[in-house]
C-alpha cells in the first residue's frame, strides 16, 4: 500500500511555504533534527520537511499537498512517544501541531472543554483545575506531551485505575482525512449511537487514519482531597495479592503503582539518595493513593488500604502526612523512566495482563530473559495490570544486543498472550512493535484492520509503516 510514496520535491516545498508562510516550514538539517526522533530509545530517521500549521484549514492544505504529491505525512505532538509513532520512518513531511494549542471553549454548564490538539496536557489540566474541574488522564510525561498525542495513543497513567484512560474522556473530534476533507464526530453529547463510533476508532489510531485538529473532552468535578501511602512487601506475590484484595475490599484507589526492587534501586542510584530501608530492601512496593470530596471518606479509605496491605504481609505502611511527603513519594515513581534511561540502552515492553496474573507475567518474562543473560527493571500501573518491563542491554555488544532483541520480543509477547494479556497497555504499537502484532491478533482480525486502514487512507500516506505489520 505504501509502495508508490514519493520524496519531497522542491515544488512541494514551495507550495508548503505558500500555504503556511516560509517561517512555518523547516528544511534545514539543524532545525529538522529533533523531528526525526521521539522518546523511543535512540532511534532517529530524518524527515524531509517539518511544517507548523496554525489552523485546521492549514492542516487541510498540507494534507492535500501530501496527497497530491504522494508524500508521507506524520503528525507530531510533544514527541514523547515510546513506540516510535512520531518518527518519520519513510521520510516526508512531519506536521507538528505545536501552534494549535488553544482551549477553544470551557463549557462549565456541560462539563466539557473543546481544545486544539497541540495544548500541553498539564497546561490543560491546570487550567481546568483552577475552575474546580478535572481532566484525569495523566501520563507521567504530561508536562511535555500534548492532547493530540494522548488521543492518538489513548494515553493512560496512574489515575486511570479509578478514572479510566484518554478514550473515556473523548466526546467528539474534528479530523482531517487523508484526502484533505474534514469530518466532525460526536459533540458535547454523553449519548450518541448514530452510525459507527468513528470517534473511538480515531482514538488510539496513532496518526494512521487521520489528523486530529480539535477534540471535545469530558470533564468531571475535581476531588479536592487525597492521601498517599507506600507499602513495601517481602515478595512480589504478596504485593500483587494486596492489589486484588484492595479492590475486593470495595476500595478503588486513585492510583495503585507497583515498583519492583530493581527499579527502586536504580531510581535511588539515579537520584543519588537512599530511600527508607523498608523500601529499598523490599522485593516490591505499592504506591497507593485515595481521593475524594469528604475528609472522613478519604481517611477511612486510606486506613483500610493500609490494613489490607498489612493483612497480606506488608512490612510497613508509610502514610504521607503532608503534601510535601506525598510529592516525595510520587517523585520516586515519576523518576523511574529517567532512572531506566540512565542505565544505558534498553527495550521497554508495555504489556498488560489480567491484574491478578502480574507475578506470573513477571516470572514468565524473567524465564525468557535469564538464559540470554539479560535483566529487566519493572514497574507499572498495578491496578490496571499494566507493566513497564525495561530490558537492559548492560554490557552486551551492539550485535549481541540486536540478536537478543530478535528473541526477546516474540518470546515476551508469546508469554504474555498465553496469560490472556496484550502487547501494549498504553504506549501503542508504533514502529517498534508492529512486527509483533501477528503474535496476538488472528489473521482475520489483522485483515479487517488492514481493510480499515485502506478505506481511510487508500494511498498509505498517513504515518506509513506504523501499527500494522509489513506484508
Ligand X SMILES: Cc1cc2nc3c(=O)[nH]c(=O)nc-3n(C[C@H](O)[C@H](O)[C@H](O)COP(=O)(O)OP(=O)(O)OC[C@H]3O[C@@H](n4cnc5c(N)ncnc54)[C@H](O)[C@@H]3O)c2cc1C
Residue 219 near residue 252 (C-beta atoms within 8 A) = no
The half-sphere exposure of 64 on its side-chain side, counting CA atoms within 13 A, is 13
Nearest distance from residue 430's CB to ligand X, in Å? 6
Nearest distance from residue 342's CB to ligand X, in Å? 12
Residue 416 near residue 422 (C-beta atoms within 8 A) = yes
Residue 160 near residue 384 (C-beta atoms within 8 A) = yes
Nearer to ligand X, 32 or 303 (CB): 32
Nearer to ligand X, 255 or 317 (CB): 255
CB count in 10 Å sphere of residue 162: 18
The half-sphere exposure of 442 on its side-chain side, counting CA atoms within 13 A, is 2
Nearest distance from residue 325's CB to ligand X, in Å? 22
Cell reading at 279 = 523500601
Nearest distance from residue 125's CB to ligand X, in Å? 14
Nearest distance from residue 322's CB to ligand X, in Å? 25
Nearer to ligand X, 166 or 241 (CB): 166
How distant, in Å, are the alpha carbons of 82, 355, 368, 413 from that of 391? 14, 21, 11, 14
Nearest distance from residue 403's CB to ligand X, in Å? 27
Q: What is the DSSP string of 338-378?
A: HHHHTT-SEEEEEEE--GGGHHHHHHHHHHHHGGGT--EEE
Nearer to ligand X, 414 or 422 (CB): 422
Euclidean distance between CA atoms 6 and 72, whole angstroms? 8
Nearer to ligand X, 275 or 456 (CB): 456
Cell reading at 385 = 495490570
Nearer to ligand X, 241 or 390 (CB): 390
What is the sign, positive or negative, of the torsion defined by CA atoms of 388, 394, 398, 402? negative
Nearer to ligand X, 218 or 388 (CB): 388
Nearer to ligand X, 302 or 453 (CB): 453
Q: Is 425 helix (H, G, I), strand (E, B) or coil?
A: coil
Site of interaction with ligand X (CB under 6 A): 38-39, 74-82, 85-86, 97, 117, 139-141, 145-146, 148-150, 152-153, 155-157, 206-207, 211-212, 337, 426-427, 463
Nearer to ligand X, 47 or 77 (CB): 77
Residue 212 makes CB contacts below 8 A (sequence gap 6+) with 75, 117, 148, 151, 152, 173, 174, 175, 202
50 backbone dihedrals φ, ψ, rounded to 5°: -120, 135
178 backbone dihedrals φ, ψ, rounded to 5°: -60, -25
Residue, CB closest to ligand X: 149
Q: Which residues are 217's β-sheet partners? A: 113, 170
Residue 322 makes CB contacts below 8 A (sequence gap 6+) with none
Q: Among residues 405, 263, 273, which one has the least CA distance to residue 334?
A: 263
Euclidean distance between CA atoms 336 and 42, whole angstroms? 18
Nearer to ligand X, 227 or 427 (CB): 427
Residue 35 near residue 76 (C-beta atoms within 8 A) = yes
Residue 94 near residue 46 (C-beta atoms within 8 A) = no
Nearest distance from residue 299's CB to ligand X, in Å? 28
Nearer to ligand X, 149 or 306 (CB): 149
Amino acid at each position: 500500500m505504501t509502495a508508490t510514496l514519493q520524496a519531497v520535491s522542491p515544488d512541494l516545498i514551495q507550495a508548503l511555504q505558500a500555504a503556511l508562510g516560509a517561517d512555518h516550514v523547516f528544511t534545514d538539517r539543524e532545525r529538522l533534527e529533533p523531528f526525526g526522533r521521539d522518546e523511543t530509545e535512540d532511534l532517529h530517521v530524518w524527515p524531509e520537511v517539518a511544517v507548523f500549521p496554525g489552523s485546521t484549514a492549514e492542516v487541510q492544505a498540507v494534507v492535500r499537498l501530501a496527497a497530491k504529491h504522494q508524500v508521507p505525512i506524520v503528525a507530531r505532538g510533544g514527541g514523547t512517544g515510546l513506540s516510535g509513532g512520531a518518527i518519520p520512518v519513510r521520510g516526508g513531511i512531519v506536521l507538528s501541531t505545536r501552534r494549535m494549542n488553544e482551549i477553544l471553549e470551557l463549557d462549565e454548564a456541560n462539563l466539557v472543554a473543546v481544545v486544539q490538539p497541540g495544548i500541553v496536557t498539564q497546561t490543560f489540566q491546570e487550567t481546568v483545575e483552577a475552575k474546580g474541574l478535572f481532566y484525569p488522564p495523566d501520563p507521567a510525561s504530561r508536562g511535555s506531551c500534548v492532547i493530540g498525542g494522548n488521543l492518538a495513543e489513548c494515553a493512560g497513567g496512574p489515575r486511570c485505575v479509578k478514572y479510566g484512560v484518554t478514550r473515556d474522556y473523548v466526546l467528539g473530534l474534528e479530523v482531517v482525512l487523508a484526502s484533505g476533507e474534514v469530518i466532525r464526530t460526536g459533540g458535547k453529547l454523553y449519548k450518541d449511537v448514530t452510525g459507527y463510533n468513528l470517534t473511538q476508532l480515531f482514538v488510539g489510531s496513532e496518526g494512521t487514519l487521520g489528523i486530529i485538529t480539535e477534540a471535545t473532552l469530558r470533564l468531571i468535578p475535581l476531588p479536592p482531597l487525597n492521601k498517599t501511602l507506600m507499602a513495601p512487601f517481602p515478595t512480589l506475590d504478596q504485593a500483587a495479592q494486596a492489589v486484588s484484595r484492595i479492590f475486593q475490599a470495595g476500595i478503588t484507589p486513585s492510583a495503585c503503582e507497583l515498583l519492583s526492587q530493581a527499579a527502586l534501586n536504580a531510581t535511588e542510584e539515579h537520584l543519588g539518595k537512599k530511600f527508607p530501608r523498608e523500601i529499598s530492601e523490599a522485593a516490591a512496593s505499592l504506591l497507593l493513593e485515595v481521593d475524594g470530596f469528604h475528609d472522613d471518606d478519604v481517611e477511612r479509605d486510606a486506613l483500610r488500604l493500609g490494613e489490607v496491605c498489612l493483612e497480606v504481609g506488608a512490612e510497613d505502611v508509610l502514610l504521607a502526612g503532608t503534601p510535601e511527603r506525598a510529592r516525595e513519594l510520587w517523585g520516586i515513581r515519576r523518576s523511574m523512566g529517567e532512572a531506566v534511561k540512565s542505565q544505558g540502552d534498553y527495550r521497554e515492553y508495555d504489556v498488560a495482563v489480567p491484574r491478578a496474573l502480574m507475578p506470573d507475567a513477571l516470572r514468565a518474562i524473567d524465564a525468557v530473559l535469564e538464559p540470554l543473560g539479560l535483566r529487566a527493571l519493572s514497574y507499572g500501573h498495578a491496578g490496571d495490570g499494566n507493566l513497564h518491563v525495561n530490558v537492559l542491554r548492560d554490557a552486551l555488544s551492539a550485535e549481541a544486543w540486536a540478536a537478543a532483541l530478535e528473541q526477546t520480543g516474540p518470546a515476551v509477547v508469546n508469554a504474555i498472550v498465553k496469560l490472556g494479556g496484550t502487547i501494549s497497555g498504553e504506549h501503542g504499537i508504533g514502529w517498534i512493535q508492529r512486527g509483533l502484532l501477528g503474535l496476538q491478533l488472528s489473521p482475520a482480525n489483522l485483515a479487517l484492520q488492514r481493510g480499515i486502514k485502506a478505506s481511510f487512507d487508500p494511498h498509505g500516506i498517513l504515518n506509513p509503516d506504523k501499527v500494522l505489520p509489513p506484508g
